Amino acid sequence: MATLLYHVLSSSSLVSLGLYHLICTTRNHLLKSPRDYSARPYHPLPHRLRLLQLYLLILFLLIAFIHQILVSFDADPLLKGRTPVHRFTSLQSAAVLFLFLLLSLSLLLSEITTLLPLPSDLFFALASAIFFLQYSVSSASSSVQTSDLQAECDSVSARISALSSILCLVLACQPKLFVVDAVLGASICLQGIWVLQTGLSLHVDAFIPEGCHKLLDVVSGVEGSTKCDFEDSKLRAVAILDLIFLVHVLFVVIITLVTYAVVAKTVGLTSRRLGSYEALPTVADSNHNHIQMKALSGTQA
């Protein structure tokens, strides 16, 4: 139960962060001309709440880091040889979370002091490197898992992390690409939704595919606690997870389009576009031009 609550907390944090980034990115793009737009790693809230997002992000990363450290000490009867697989994978995940925590603290210091001025391109470059490290950890974890379902969930998570890494690298080189910045927010939302799906597929009996089950002699929540009885059950479960992932992707695409439409309506996109057209000549301007034309005709005569 505690592990499922952790997945729910992690999912809500990632979805909120991705959605907030997507909304702020879209708003900045609509309020500025394409030439003036530039991707930003942090969008402050108004007035006294301007740093609230950073404080919450640091808090959630700290909770996730502590959780991974504590999980690494759980006893696990499922061993490969004499090696407790979950212990090393948990410590690797904790190391990645610690790097994200350091990056968030650096961004906070950059916002409130002049001790560590962190330019946007450097931030995105460091974020790209950490996302790539997360991809490597998730890929390695999927290859050594004793649980077929856990391995598939880790594999999908690794693909999303690889996408986020590529997007951050592009923004470090080309910060004016609004599409890339928006897709980055969408990818964070997708990661959050998949974290929730992972928790449901591994720890809730109603969501575990048919032919697979939790092992009763394993500590609740330890990786490798969900097994499939037969090869065809494993293949069926993996196919179901792949289908669910595609449904999540479709859902995130719809969220992105709806977010853009709502933000565009809020900031008045139609009036902004109309304001960019040249103003029609007024009656006074027409009379002035008519007088100038008559004077010009009289001079030529």
List the structure tokens of 219. 């500590």
Q: Is 118 left (phi over 0), alpha (psi -120 to 50) or beta?
A: beta
| pLDDT score, position 151 | 83
- Cα–Cα distances (Å) from 134 to 144, 194, 199, in that order, read 16, 15, 18
Q: Is the pTM of this model over 0.85?
A: no
- Cα–Cα distances (Å) from 107 to 2, 99, 126, 146, 175, in that order, read 31, 12, 11, 38, 17
Q: State mean pLDDT over 208-216.
A: 76
Q: Is the pLDDT of residue 295 over 50?
A: no
Beta strands, E only, the chain: 79-80, 83-84, 212-214, 226-228
How confident is the model over 234-271, as pLDDT tens digits?
Answer: 888 889 999 999 999 999 999 999 999 999 888 875 44
How confident is the model over 118-143, as pLDDT tens digits?
Answer: 888 999 999 999 999 999 998 887 77
| pLDDT score, position 256 | 94
Angle between helices 148-173 and 120-144 (to 10 degrees): 160
DSSP string, 44-57: PPSGGGTTHHHHHH
Structure confidence at residue 291 as a pLDDT band (50, 70, 90): very low
Q: What single-letter amino acid sits at 229?
A: D
CA distance 136 to 7: 21
Residues, the chain? 301
Structure confidence at residue 296 as a pLDDT band (50, 70, 90): very low
| pLDDT score, position 279 | 44
Q: What single-letter amino acid sits at 85?
A: V
